[in-house]
Chains A and B, each alone.
Chain A
């Protein structure tokens, strides 16, 4: 059974600071996704990581994937208030079930002035 663990689950940071969210998963996968959810809203796809060493960047967010370590990171650079949201990583199992995703519990990020 695929397990996905995120940490931290809660993150309060000041504007301008840097921080990293970690996503560990338990079985082989070559598909990892990061989603963002604003309070009371739906989930929005941020990044798709498809291979070992993949790195994607969008604005102040950068995501990377290490399939050998079964680890993905979401790095926040010089945080701004608009980044406050819940961030989820989701992993697709390799093989025939790759149309199903297993989500982590999410990281609630609060960026304070």
Chain B
């Protein structure tokens, strides 16, 4: 059981280039999230999805786009990379559980993608 898999693990871009980060989960989770982690800032939510075909903006969505065409995949796109987007990007997923389950909001994280924009 692989859990949450992110590709690539590392990437270096030049300013203005575009790229797509892929997140895949094999746990049949409804919810998926993209975060960025910067030193001293914790994790900040970029975009999220509450189900296949849905996306929504998080705290810092500017400069990013996302798509959730299949339930197991959540793609994060950078159309024109900027040095301010140098960061570590984490994907997470969460089950849609009902009732009072303690696991209702536990998010399971991928290993992260380190992106440098020069």
Contacts and interface: CB of A to CB of B under 8 A. Distances in A.
A48 interface: yes
A103 to B, nearest CB: 4
Interface residues on A, range: 20 to 34
B102 A48 contact: yes
Contacts of B107: 45, 101
Query: Chain A's interface: helix, strand, loop or mixed, by majority?
Result: strand
Interface residues on B, range: 20 to 34
Interface stretch (B20-28, B38-46, B61-69, B72-80): B38-46
A62 B73 CA distance: 35
A50 B103 CA distance: 10
Contacts of B106: 33, 45, 48
Given A42-B111, A42-B112, A103 B102 contact: no
Nearest to B110: A42
Interface in A58-92: 88, 90, 92
Interface of A: 9, 31, 33, 41-45, 48, 50, 88, 90, 92, 98-106
27 contacts: A42-B90, A42-B111, A42-B112, A43-B43, A43-B109, A45-B106, A45-B107, A45-B108, A48-B103, A48-B105, A48-B106, A88-B42, A88-B43, A98-B104, A98-B105, A99-B31, A99-B48, A99-B94, A99-B96, A100-B45, A100-B58, A101-B105, A101-B107, A103-B44, A105-B41, A105-B42, A106-B42
